[in-house]
Amino acid sequence: MQTSFQGEKRIQIDFHHGLEGAYPISIPFQPVSFKMADEKAPWKDDEDLNKTLSAYVRQNLKRTEILDFMKSEFLRYDWSMRSLDRRLRHFGIFYHNKTITIDTVKAAVEEELNGPGQLLGYRGMFQKITQEHI
């Protein structure tokens, strides 16, 4: 690498063209700078966004469905599946609640089997229990 008389840095490359040999070419060198994401992004303090995401996860909506709703309701933010996952993690929102005890689940299943949910299959039972009991 060499420096020109104006202080800009240049890269010297030997260019081979056909059979005639190498011709030196000087190209301006510009270092690449990567801008890191702002640590204090505006969505990190948005309580309305937190509540809305929590409500959609509690309804057990698929991530693609949540993403569609977010794109239409929160136009001020850019949305992708990756940004949705990052925001859910930031707010501590997960689809599975690992603090529920087995006794709570057993009681919910027994209540549904004794009531109108006795004819549900296992998928319907799971969905009903997660939406209404847990």
Question: With pLDDT > 90 as the criterion, what percentage of the chain qualifies?
Answer: 42
pTM: 0.57
Whether residues 47 and 84 fall in one domain: yes
List the 22-28 sheet strands across, edge first: 2-3, 9-16, 22-28
Q: Is the dihedral of CA 36, 39, 42, 44 positive or negative?
A: positive
Per-residue pLDDT at 18 exceeds 60: no
- CA dist., res. 125 & res. 105, Å (int): 11
Whether residues 24 and 64 fall in one domain: no
The mean pLDDT of 2-23, rounded to a whole number, is 57
- CA dist., res. 9 & res. 30, Å (int): 7
Q: With respect to residue 59, please indicate whether it lies within any of the assigned structural domains.
A: yes
Tell which wins on pLDDT, 57 or 26: 57
Q: With respect to residue 35, please indicate whether it lies within any of the assigned structural domains.
A: no
Q: With respect to residue 78, please indicate whether it lies within any of the assigned structural domains.
A: yes
Whether residues 85 and 106 fall in one domain: no
Domain count, the chain: 3
The mean pLDDT of 45-73, rounded to a whole number, is 94
Question: With pLDDT > 70 as the criterion, what percentage of the chain qualifies?
Answer: 71
Q: With respect to residue 97, please indicate whether it lies within any of the assigned structural domains.
A: no
Whether residues 78 and 108 fall in one domain: no
Q: With respect to residue 47, please indicate whether it lies within any of the assigned structural domains.
A: yes
Q: Which domain holds residue 116?
A: 102-132
Q: With respect to residue 37, please indicate whether it lies within any of the assigned structural domains.
A: no
Whether residues 19 and 49 fall in one domain: no
Whether residues 47 and 83 fall in one domain: yes
